Amino acid sequence: MARIVMKFGGTSVGDIDRIKNVARRVKTEVDNGNEVAVVVSAMSGVTNQLVDWCKQIAPLHDAREYDTVVATGEQVTIGLLAIALQELGVNARSWCGWQIPIMTDGTHGKARISTIDTDDMVGRMRDGQVAVVAGFQGLGPDRRITTLGRGGSDTSAVALAAALKADRCDIYTDVDGVYTTDPRIVKTARKLDKITYEEMLELASVGAKVLQTRSVEMAMKHRVRVQVLSSFIDAPGTLVCDEEEIVEKELVSGIAYSRDEAKITLVRVPDQPGVAAGIFGPLADAAINVDMIVQNVSEDGRSTDLTFTVGKSDLERARKVLEEARGKLSFERLIADPNVVKVSVIGVGMRSHAGIAQKMFQTLASESINIQVISTSEIKISVLVEEKYTELALRALHTAYGLDAA
Amino acid sequence: MARIVMKFGGTSVGDIDRIKNVARRVKTEVDNGNEVAVVVSAMSGVTNQLVDWCKQIAPLHDAREYDTVVATGEQVTIGLLAIALQELGVNARSWCGWQIPIMTDGTHGKARISTIDTDDMVGRMRDGQVAVVAGFQGLGPDRRITTLGRGGSDTSAVALAAALKADRCDIYTDVDGVYTTDPRIVKTARKLDKITYEEMLELASVGAKVLQTRSVEMAMKHRVRVQVLSSFIDAPGTLVCDEEEIVEKELVSGIAYSRDEAKITLVRVPDQPGVAAGIFGPLADAAINVDMIVQNVSEDGRSTDLTFTVGKSDLERARKVLEEARGKLSFERLIADPNVVKVSVIGVGMRSHAGIAQKMFQTLASESINIQVISTSEIKISVLVEEKYTELALRALHTAYGLDAA
């Protein structure tokens, strides 16, 4: 017997038949003798409709009212799933965020969970009742409904699993696990049985959108074992867990990529203290995140080129902010390039093994792919290359690191 | 300055443009210096969709989960209307039933309001904030969401007006007031400026579906002045109020009709004690409401005919119940007739004036309309006639009682 949290996203509960299907999956876990809490999202499409209505009335709207509106999506799903479970003879009840309560801070629209009071729920789960919990929502200090931001249901599930001291948090999605790389691009990609929190975090941050970054951070912090698996296929998925639980660690676990970034180069920036702050300050003020940054060595000792990446959707805004700041900044020219891709090699093994970066550079060089920018973290090496090389780079690296399926 | 509750039904908030229109009407009252609370229903069609989803999963479902699902309709509207008001520069906030709270009994699906705690809300209204309140919903003793049954938003509005000691409760609908009779049938029908609670109750109970019966009962009990008016036309409506507030009382206020009833005659029932109980007991057990009842005088001293009406939708079920009980009951024949209409003359004036019933019988007789059943209350006379006479009877009575517009 185990205590597990199961989480189903919008596609998995997208219509009445799928909700019934989810009920059957939950029943299986109950029949296996497990204590079960289920966290669900809104039926797919519903949240978009609700957000759209808010925007139609006022592009800039009170986040508290927005939360009141959009939180209804999950509330519909919990009621329907509870009914579907009861119809299968499973004892179940729904819980809105405010009923548990899942307390959050007061940041409406993207609140953070502070505490979850599970006393009542645990008692009922021990008595065999399935808790059907609305993801994505909580209760703020103002006693009003808060939401956690898009994709927040993953975070709800992990936070609930932590509060319930659950043995596992199963996140059901439309993919059947975490792959060594995108299987739509690399046919030899393999599903991983296990991956560490750290690696999963890096994967999420570079665009492998299986789990929301915040949910992985929370899982890592509270050591919640998270399994990613398919709601449509009946097979084990990928377990995201502590490094110690992985006996045979790979040097490299996966190759990720992100097409969401754009490159900006400021040509002939003065090579003097305070210049970087003068550039990145206005961007930060405009809430534009800057990712990779490279400053070339100054050739003449007086000026240099500065290259960095921003989100593709922020590119025009970033260009405007920098042009407007041109009175204070001085640069000869701004070159914007959206045709780039960030390719990342990820693996906890690189902490203790040298040569992994070198293999990446060699592999790309042998395919004549020019590296524009490089950045590294403890368990990740990322390079920026021309977007047209995405597929070629992924396949070459996947093979080079020995990740291809046998 | 007055304190008013405004209530808008599903059609009035049916899409984003209509919600904006409602916001403008509310702003007008605020600009006039009034303290305003607004009660809203779900956008038209939404509740039906939610109910349908519940039924698709299980025809018989947990009423607590049903309430959780269907209450979301109103929650969406309050958030959207609050945003629309803010967009017009009006200070506003939304309130779910559980946030106020509107406490109800535990009868999920058709709960009754017990108490409303308005302390917080009144303070905010005094400070100029419009309270946007979800109709139809409350919080049960089990701390779960309850709903008041279809059309319950009228009841929410009147109950809130009573709790807030509001000067008036304005119910905005798709008609512009209460008429002397159905203006689609009688072109000379007049809109009434005022009508008493008692008359409105009788009108509601015989099929003039302007206000939900329960809301009128509640208004009468708490002496809440209710105005019925159009959300699309800018004109005064009809005030439902205490008899004392109406200076010039008409003898007859209106002529109502209901096509929702069907007639059952049991031929040659034994004329002995206990027979009526033997017939109406099984019907009551099957939750079939019986309305008008007539027992003819026995011709032979041993048997008689018994005639009564049931809801048209209950007719087949009633027939089945009576046929099944035939072992205990004895009657020669059951005649069912759905082609009937109940026509009612309503007016508080008939308490003190004789001859009103006589005028009804004479008028119908002069049009050769045969009266099948008669029933009366203190302020109402109802007759059952063949359905084909509906229009003729209404027009003749409307003229006879001097109700035609000048």
Tens digit of each residue's pLDDT (9 = 90 or more) over A203-261:
876 666 788 888 999 999 999 999 999 988 889 999 999 999 988 777 899 999 999 99
What is the model's pLDDT at position A75? 98
| Subunit contact A65:B83, Cβ cutoff 8 A | yes
Could you tell me if B53 and A83 are in contact, meaning their C-beta atoms sit under 8 angstroms apart? no
Structure tokens of A153?
Answer: 């249901």
Q: How far apart are CA B265 and CA A308, in angstroms?
A: 89
| Subunit contact A87:B57, Cβ cutoff 8 A | yes
| Subunit contact A54:B80, Cβ cutoff 8 A | yes
Omega within 30 of 0 (cis) for the link into A101: yes
Indicate if the pLDDT at residue B174 is higher than 90. no
Q: Summarize pLDDT for A52-71 with one digit per residue, the tens.
A: 999 999 999 999 999 999 99
Q: Which CATH architecture has domain B340-400?
A: 2-Layer Sandwich (3.30)
Could you tell me if B241 and B200 are in contact, meaning their C-beta atoms sit under 8 angstroms apart? no
Q: How far apart are CA B286 and CA B348, in angstroms?
A: 34
What is the model's pLDDT at position B210? 81
Rg (CA), chain B: 24
Confidence of residue B208 (pLDDT cuts 50, 70, 90): low
Nearest CA in chain B to A76: B69
Beta bridge partners of B240: B195, B226
- CA-to-CA separations, B214 to A132, B148, B157, B219, in angstroms, rounded: 34, 10, 11, 9
Q: Which CATH number fits domain A3-174: 2.60.120.10, 3.30.1330.40, 3.40.1160.10, 1.10.3720.10?
A: 3.40.1160.10
- CA-to-CA separations, A391 to A342, B48, B294, in angstroms, rounded: 12, 49, 86
Place of tokens 């007016």: B347
ipTM, two decimals: 0.84
Side by side, the strands of the sheet bearing B194-196 are B92-95, B130-134, B35-40, B3-8, B168-173, B226-230, B238-241, B194-196
pLDDT one digit per residue (tens) for chain A, 406 residues: 899 999 999 999 999 999 999 999 999 999 999 999 999 999 999 999 999 999 999 999 999 999 999 999 999 999 999 999 999 999 999 999 999 999 999 999 999 999 999 999 999 999 999 999 999 999 999 999 999 987 799 999 999 999 999 999 999 988 889 999 999 999 999 999 999 999 999 887 666 678 888 899 999 999 999 999 998 888 999 999 999 998 877 789 999 999 999 999 999 888 888 888 888 999 999 989 998 988 877 777 788 889 999 999 999 999 999 998 887 888 889 999 999 999 999 999 888 888 899 999 999 999 999 999 999 888 999 999 999 999 999 999 999 999 998 7
Q: How far is A94 from chain B (nearest CA, A)?
A: 7
Question: What is residue B251's DSSP assignment?
Answer: S
| Subunit contact B66:A84, Cβ cutoff 8 A | no
Share of chain B above pLDDT 70, in %: 99
Q: Summarize pLDDT for B148-164 with one digit per residue, the tens.
A: 987 799 999 999 999 99
Superfamily of domain B261-337 in the CATH hierarchy: ACT domain (3.30.70.260)
Confidence of residue B330 (pLDDT cuts 50, 70, 90): confident
Q: Summarize pLDDT for B275-311 with one digit per residue, the tens.
A: 888 889 999 999 899 989 888 777 777 888 899 999 9
What is the model's pLDDT at position A263? 96
Could you tell me if B290 and B310 are in contact, meaning their C-beta atoms sit under 8 angstroms apart? yes
Could you tell me if B148 and B137 are in contact, meaning their C-beta atoms sit under 8 angstroms apart? yes
Residue B48: is it exposed, middle or buried by C-beta count within 10 angstroms (0-12/13-18/19+)?
middle
Backbone angles phi, psi at B191, to 5 degrees: -75, 135
- Alpha-carbon dihedral A7, A10, A11, A13, rounded to 10 degrees: 70
Give the count of alpha carbons within 13 A of B330, CB side only: 5
Distance between start and end Cα atoms, chain B: 35
3-state secondary structure A308-375: EEEEHHHHHHHHHHHHHHHHCCCCCEEEEECCEEEEEEECHHHHCCCCHHHHHHHHHHHCCCCCCEEE
Neighboring chain B residues of A82 at a CB cutoff of 8 Å: 62, 65, 68
Q: How far apart are CA B79 and CA A144, in angstroms?
A: 12
Domain regions of chain B by residue span: 3-174, 261-337, 340-400
Contacts of A55 (CB under 8 A, 6+ apart): A61
Confidence of residue B209 (pLDDT cuts 50, 70, 90): confident
| Subunit contact B65:A94, Cβ cutoff 8 A | yes
